[in-house]
Structure 1
Amino acid sequence: MRNMMLMLAVAGTLLLSACDPSRVYEQNVEMPDKNWTVDNAPVFEFAIEDTTKRYNVYFNVRYSLAYDYYNLYLQHRLTAPDSSMVSSSLTELHLMDAKTGKPEGKGSSDIYDVQSLVLKEVALPQVGTYRLQLTQYMRRDPLPNILAVGVRVEEAAK
């Protein structure tokens, strides 16, 4: 019975993800021991075939309510297939309301997911594989209660 429920959950997830025609890429990486160390800088690789379109890039963060801060600073580096720099900047994501402490994003119990638009309608001018690296840029190392980080790339609305 448990295997049947697991198979139904996986099938449902696959069906829902298949119904998202704007998504080009989405991947999340779990943090070992729910701690994000500075030297753990995940790299996300995605292929772009249509250079005439514009793309939106989101950062995904799964965190626990035990996280000590209301925000999270991330450094990103997006490189093109020829290794040229497309974008590099420091981004502040708000995980909780600074005044009320109310968690941002979707979740239940003590686990929440935030998806933040970071690069809006960006041009990706080369066909091929792009690399996006994320590094946590907080003063604490390791940074506890960050459970996973990820990237979503989608075609921008016309």
Structure 2
Amino acid sequence: MKNILKGIVLVLLFAACDTNRVYEDYKAIGRDGWHKDSLASFIVPIDSSGQNHNIYINIRNKGTYPNSNIWLFLEVASPQGQLLTDTVEYILAEKSGQWRGSGIGDLFDNQFLYRRNVHFEESGEYRFSIRQGMRAKNLKGIHDIGLRVEKQN
């Protein structure tokens, strides 16, 4: 029990020291899988003070995920309603079958750079929506999908 509490305290300390983070959140995917029409949406408040940002997509997959990659459809809506759509592919496993990222048990955590050096033109709330782009109606094996926006050094 002491080791668990020490681990939780360490995680909280590291998170508190993350001064570059502007936003980070995860959306859990249900046990039935990630339906092809389900959106993971994130509302990100941005202060457009001239600072550039890096944007990351965070993916937690189970060892039972049936593919080595994942295709995602992204939409980013600005505070004024301008819409950017994009399609990206991320590799979750090596050709050998070994999962990428850090893992605890049967859960693997990856952080992929989506965009580097992004300048948000206006302050306000940006809506990021992510939908799975695989051919499965219900994609099994994805545990969480997340978004991170950080100040660029």
* Fold similarity call, TM over 0.5: yes
Q: How does 1:45-84 map to 2 (within 5 A)?
A: 45-84=43-82
Please name the residue that 1:23 is paired with. Answer: 21
Deviation at 1:5, TM superposition (A): 7.0
**Among 3, 11, 32, the residue aligned to 2:30:** 32
C-alpha change, 1:28 and 1:34, in structure 2 (3 Å) is farther
- What is the aligned partner in structure 2 of residue 106 from structure 1? 102
- Relative to 1, partners in 2 of residues 1:108 and 1:77: Cα closer, same or farther, differing over 3 Å? same
Work out which of the residue numbers 98, 122, 127 in structure 2 matches 1:126: 122
Structure 1 residue 50, shift from structure 2 partner: 3.1
- Residue by residue, what CA displacement relative to the aligned partner does 1:74-132 show, whole Å, maximum 9, x if unpaired? 010111111112x32100010001x2111111113221011000111111111111110
Identical counterparts, % of pairs: 29
Return the letter of the residue paired with 1:17.
Answer: A
Distance, in Å, in 1 between the alignment partners of 2:125 and 2:9 is: 29
User: What code does the residue aligned with 1:109 have?
Assistant: G
Report the TM-score, using the length of structure 2 for normalisation.
0.92
Distance 1:21 1:84, change over 3 A: same
Q: Deviations over 1:2-57 (max 9, x none)?
A: 6x877655443332111011110000011111611112201101111134011111
Aligned residue pairs total 153
8 Å CA contact retained: 1:55, 1:122: yes
Does the 8 A contact of 1:51 with 1:123 survive in 2?
no
Q: Note the aligned Cα RMSD (angstroms).
A: 1.7
User: Aligned with 1:47: secondary structure?
Assistant: strand
Structure 2 residues without counterparts, runs of 5 or longer: none
5+ long unaligned stretches in structure 1: none
User: Is residue 89 from structure 1 mapped to residue 60 from structure 2 by the alignment?
Assistant: no
